[in-house]
Amino acid sequence: MFAAITRFLLLLASAALLYGLTQSIWGNWLSFGTSLAVLALPLGYFYIKLSVLKKYLQADELENLPSAFGYLEDVFFRLQRAALTSKKRIAEVERQHQRFIEAFQASPNGIVMLDNQDQIEWCNSIAERFFGLSFRRDAMQRINYILRHPQFIEYLSSRRFEEPLLIEKMGSGSNLSLLLQIFPFAENHRLLLAQDVTDLRKAEAMRRDFVANVSHEMRTPLTVMMGFLETVQTLELEPHQEKEYLELMMIQGHRMKSLVEDLLILANLESNALPALANPIAVSGSVFAFLRGDAEALSQGRHTFHFECNASVGLLGDEQEILSAFGNLISNAIRYTPDGGVITAQWDRNAKGQGVFSVRDTGPGISAEHLPRLTERFYRVDRSRSRDTGGTGLGLAIVKHIASRHQAQLQIESMLGVGSVFTLVFPAERTVALIPSAQ
Ligand code: ADP
């Protein structure tokens, strides 16, 4: 309806203009002026409405559509609908983009997006840390100008990205091992992924060392046994000589047995569930009685023992593991303390409520440089002394493992020529009050 009126007005204005023009030839300026005024009316209206529309679009407040009528109202309405739809689409794309960025940021791996010139288009904060990058500073820099590791430069230029690249010690003075791989995407763009494999590499190295150590520890007694067997087989031996050889072979057999037993203990400790905070162990009862019996059997009267135990302090933990840890510390004290030495084992609660088990000996002591390494598997201060006394080199590793499973600390104090004190400190939560008479 309004559109028709507008069209009619335009037609009328055009006719008036034509009429005015013909009349003006005859000098009727008045008619010409009237025609111009009639034409200016709708044009002025359009001009005003278009400037209102411009302001509306600039203000970006799409809900407040300015009023218009007729043809213009229809145009305004369609414009508003198109603008609202595209605004919604843009918001949705922005949200998606933000979600992708957040997902990439949440990744534990370093991610760098490279364009077809290997320039950095984007990277996450993990990649910034791995490569010493700063996205603000290094955006659109070529990656090979920043990551100058020769292996990486070769990998990048080779364009053979099927296999990942392992870089040990990424960056100067760093121990970071990274597994890098490039994945092409879109038109010649590339995604560089970096995974931190430092712990994995350390674990692999430790496993390799461990297997090498175990093989070595097994091979020594085996070689000795094979030697004896060959001798018994090839030489005509007197019965007393044969007995002697068999006894020596038995010692080697025992060494191998102890080693396998300790290895099994370690393997079990690694796979068993953590000891619960239930089942109080009466240290003064079963544990100390057992330890004393074992100690006396091992010492064979060569040492003086003091076993001091606060019977009212119980320990929450695994009894077998506690026996093994306490037993290892006592057996070490016996094995390394010369005849006539004094060994004191104590169990009590300290002022902080922590459970404290300690073994003090009057043995040779250990010099300070060895102390931090004593709990490493197969670490020994004196290899032959350890072997002669039936040591496997795993005792303190087992103690440390059991301690950490009970959230306890192993502390070692030692003085050359004076003796050593090995102490296990259990958290207060693992100690309970017991009524001694009730045991
Ligand atoms: P081992 O089976 O050789 O005794 P451990 O792991 O129990 O292995 O002990 C590691 C090393 O710590 C021993 O080889 C020994 O040199 C030293 N050590 C442990 N306990 C004592 C101690 N009470 N006195 C002196 N040295 C000790």
Query: Residue 365 maps to which CATH number?
Result: 3.30.565.10
Domain stop point among 47, 77, 97 = 97
* Per-residue model confidence as pLDDT tens digits over 379-395: 999 888 888 888 899 99
> Which pLDDT score is estimated for 439?
46
Q: What is the CATH number of the domain that holds 236?
A: 1.10.287.130
Best residue among 343, 396, 411, 416 to mutate for probing ligand 1, ranked by most atoms within 8 Å of CB: 396
How sure is the predictor about 122, in pLDDT bands with cuts at 50, 70 and 90? very high
Q: Give percent of the chain above pLDDT 90.
A: 65
Q: Which residue has the higher pLDDT, 170 or 127?
A: 127
> Which pLDDT score is estimated for 387?
81
Query: Has residue 290 got a pLDDT over 90?
Result: yes
Tell me if the pTM is above 0.85.
no
Do 164 and 207 lie in one domain? The reply is no
The protein residue whose alpha carbon is closest to atom 10 in ligand 1 is 380
The range of the structural domain enclosing residue 246 comes to: 202-271
Q: Which amino acid is at 193?
A: L
Query: Has residue 404 got a pLDDT over 80?
Result: yes
The answer to whether the CB of 196 falls within 8 A of the CB of 178 is: yes
Query: Has residue 25 got a pLDDT over 70?
Result: no
Query: Has residue 3 got a pLDDT over 60?
Result: no
Interatomic CA distance for residues 229 and 252, integer angstroms: 12
Task: Let me know if residue 176 belongs to a domain.
Answer: yes
> Which pLDDT score is estimated for 389?
83
Do 286 and 404 lie in one domain? The reply is yes
Do 291 and 403 lie in one domain? The reply is yes
Interatomic CA distance for residues 379 and 386, integer angstroms: 10
Task: Let me know if residue 134 belongs to a domain.
Answer: yes
Residues in contact with 42: Cβ distance below 8 Å, sequence separation at least 6, in sequence order:
6, 9, 10, 13
> Which pLDDT score is estimated for 118?
94
Three-state secondary structure string covering 251-263:
HHHHHHHHHHHHH
> Which pLDDT score is estimated for 377?
93
Do 213 and 314 lie in one domain? The reply is no
Distance from Cα 347 to the centre of ligand 1, integer Å: 21
* Per-residue model confidence as pLDDT tens digits over 6-22: 667 667 767 766 776 66
Task: Let me know if residue 418 belongs to a domain.
Answer: yes
Do 341 and 433 lie in one domain? The reply is yes
Do 220 and 327 lie in one domain? The reply is no
Do 86 and 22 lie in one domain? The reply is yes
Q: Which residue has the higher pLDDT, 438 or 96?
A: 96
Cα separation values, 51 from 38, 58, 66, 67, 75, Å: 21, 11, 11, 12, 14
Query: Has residue 267 got a pLDDT over 70?
Result: yes
Task: Let me know if residue 355 belongs to a domain.
Answer: yes
Q: What is the largest CA-CA distance in the chain?
A: 158
Per-residue pLDDT, averaged over 361-386, amounts to 93
> Which pLDDT score is estimated for 319?
93
Do 334 and 191 lie in one domain? The reply is no
Three-state secondary structure string covering the chain:
CHHHHHHHHHHHHHHHHHHHHHHHHCCCHHHHHHHHHHHHHHHHHHHHHHHHHHHHHHHCCCCCCCCCCCHHHHHHHHHHHHHHHHHHHHHHHHHHHHHHHHHHHHCCCEEEEECCCCEEEEECHHHHHHHCCCHHHHCCCEHHHHCCCHHHHHHHHHCCCCCCEEECCCCCCCCCCEEEEEEEECCCEEEEEEEECHHHHHHHHHHHHHHHHHHHHHHHHHHHHHHHHHHHHHCCCCHHHHHHHHHHHHHHHHHHHHHHHHHHHHHHHHHCCCCCCCCEECHHHHHHHHHHHHHHHHHCCCCEEEEEECCCEEEECCHHHHHHHHHHHHHHHHHHCCCCCEEEEEEEECCCCCEEEEEEECCCCCCHHHHHHCCCCCCCCCHHHHHHCCCCCCHHHHHHHHHHHCCCEEEEEEECCCEEEEEEEECHHHEEECCHHHC
> Which residues line ligand 1 at a C-beta cut-off of 6 Å?
332-333, 336, 361, 363-364, 366, 374, 379-382, 386, 391-397, 420
Query: Has residue 134 got a pLDDT over 70?
Result: yes
Q: What ligand 1 atom has the least distance to the C-alpha of 387?
A: 3
The answer to whether the CB of 141 falls within 8 A of the CB of 132 is: no
Do 352 and 411 lie in one domain? The reply is yes
Do 290 and 410 lie in one domain? The reply is yes
Residue with tokens 């103690």: 399
Domain count, the chain: 4
Task: Let me know if residue 166 belongs to a domain.
Answer: yes
* Per-residue model confidence as pLDDT tens digits over 26-83: 666 777 677 778 778 888 888 898 898 888 888 878 888 888 888 888 888 999 899 8
Buried b or exposed e, range 336-348, using 16+ CB within 10 angstroms = bbeeebebbbbbb
Best residue among 213, 258, 332, 399 to mutate for probing ligand 1, ranked by most atoms within 8 Å of CB: 332
The overall average pLDDT reported for the chain is 90
Domain stop point among 244, 271, 298 = 271
> Which pLDDT score is estimated for 286?
82
Do 147 and 32 lie in one domain? The reply is no
Domain stop point among 97, 124, 144 = 97
Task: Let me know if residue 123 belongs to a domain.
Answer: yes
Cβ-based neighbour number of residue 206 at 10 Å: 12
Task: Let me know if residue 46 belongs to a domain.
Answer: yes
Distance from Cα 243 to the centre of ligand 1, integer Å: 31
Interatomic CA distance for residues 211 and 437, integer angstroms: 49
Query: Has residue 411 got a pLDDT over 90?
Result: yes
Do 406 and 315 lie in one domain? The reply is yes
Task: Let me know if residue 102 belongs to a domain.
Answer: no
Q: What ligand 1 atom has the least distance to the C-alpha of 394?
A: 6
